Amino acid sequence: MSSPIYLDYAATTPVDPRVADRMIECLRPEGAHGNPSSASHEFGRRARELVEKARVQVANAIGAKPATIVWTSGATESDNLAIQGVARFHADRGRHIVSSKTEHKAVLDALKQLEREGFDVTYLRPGVDGIVQPEQVREALRPDTILVSLMHVNNETGVIQDVGAVGRLCRERGVLFHCDAAQSIGKVPVDVEAMQIDLLSMTAHKAYGPKGVGALYVRRTPPVGLRPILFGGGQEFGLRSGTLPTHQIVGMGAAFELAIAEKDEDVDRLRSLRERLWQGIAKVGDVEINAESADRVSNILNVTFHGVEGESLQFALRAVAVSAGAACSSGSDEASYVLRALGRTDQQAQSSLRFSLGRFSTTAEVETAIAEVQREVGRLRQIASG
């Protein structure tokens, strides 16, 4: 059997070989293997130079200054640091937070923890197109609102939120704005200054970098006010203690630099491949794209196959790696909470699959995936009809 086709880039991406080469240089005995905090010797200083170069690369990708970038273990930690850190720091002036029902679990579960601590959270429901309108945010704000948290690109549907409009609204009202941008880098423009974002969560492994490393942008002027959730050596401006993993940070910097340099070419190519994939899938009939009317990133296609149970189809498509929902919820038997928030029934949500393309996807792979989907959907519908 030939190798399966990978169409699950929204869950994670393979590390770009160019990124891997940069990382390997840090792992060899003759490489920059020192502790970046050990400034008293050459090994530590060499590692620190690479860490700071990567900080510049990540900052450049989002239109920020290097001193605003705080290294973390990934977007989950960044989300938790931003949300819990802001809430606990500013609890004396307000305990209300606004978010949406379609956020990543890293945001939703962080908010649940705060609710257990006595905070009040308003969860906005998007329209059928997956969009949370800025006016919904405006109406939800209260005198005691201290934070709004809204993701930029939805990991299941690919819907792009107008976070710039929300950022401007929050800035006018004196409310801090956090944005989960795990799916954004290399796919859509990100400029924290223009979008007036106060905190931005990022991760390397959605942009052809390594797993286990991410960053949080924290606005410095005026200071946001953030309480750390990890304690120890006081690294990263006292906001995130722990020895910095030089090779992973170098990988994230290299990955983000490549993602920005190649964004336009990647976006155009993937949009063409996605359209080719959809035209082939559409031929099976009685299928529809979830959140089709919204502005979506070019690499994600979330499709409802009416008359077919999504998990059965996913299992049948052994030659194609796809998802029935977010990777963080893959152990759950429940239908996608994101699709249900868009008004899809449990049955419709369970009959949906997410196809996500990436830098290494090819036309041949798309054609093979189309053939597999057409064959298996037809077979499963035939079985269902008895």
Is 328 considered catalytic here? yes
Amino acid at 264: D
Closest CA to 179 of 158, 203, 197, 204: 197
Question: What pLDDT is attached to residue 228?
Answer: 93
Looking at the chain, which residues constitute the CATH 3.40.640.10 domain(s)? 17-261
Question: What pLDDT is attached to residue 335?
Answer: 86
217-228, pLDDT tens digit by residue?
A: 999 999 999 999
Question: What pLDDT is attached to residue 309?
Answer: 83
Amino acid at 302: N
Closest CA to 123 of 351, 349, 340: 340
Question: What pLDDT is attached to residue 384?
Answer: 82
163-181, pLDDT tens digit by residue?
A: 999 999 999 999 999 999 9
CATH class of segment(s) 5-13+263-384: alpha beta
Burial class (CB in 10 A: 0-12, 13-18, 19+), 250: buried
- Give the chain's mean pLDDT: 95
Backbone angles phi, psi at 95, to 5 degrees: -135, 30
The reported pTM is 0.95
Question: What pLDDT is attached to residue 325?
Answer: 64
- What average pLDDT does range 294-306 have in this prediction? 97
Question: What pLDDT is attached to residue 31?
Answer: 86
Closest CA to 216 of 85, 109, 95: 85
367-379, pLDDT tens digit by residue?
A: 999 999 999 999 9
Q: Is the pLDDT of residue 138 over 60?
A: yes
309-347, pLDDT tens digit by residue?
A: 878 888 899 999 999 865 555 455 678 999 999 999 999
Pull the structure tokens for residue 130: 């997956």
14-72, pLDDT tens digit by residue?
A: 999 999 999 999 998 888 888 999 888 988 999 999 999 999 999 999 999 999 999 99
Looking at the chain, which residues constitute the CATH 3.90.1150.10 domain(s)? 5-13+263-384
What kind of architecture, by CATH, is found in domain 17-261?
Answer: 3-Layer(aba) Sandwich (3.40)
Could you give the CA distance from residue 322 to residue 355 in angstroms, rounded to a whole number? 6
Question: What pLDDT is attached to residue 299?
Answer: 98
- In which region does residue 134 sit, left (phi positive, over 0), alpha (psi from -120 to 50) or beta (all else)? alpha
Question: What pLDDT is attached to residue 328?
Answer: 55
Amino acid at 230: L
Asked which of 73-77, 89-93, 320-324 is least confident by mean pLDDT, the reply is 320-324
- What average pLDDT does range 347-360 have in this prediction? 95
Using pLDDT thresholds of 50, 70 and 90, give the confidence band for residue 385.
confident
Determine contact, residues 289/128, Cβ cutoff 8 Å. Answer: no
238-273, pLDDT tens digit by residue?
A: 899 899 999 999 999 999 999 999 999 999 999 999
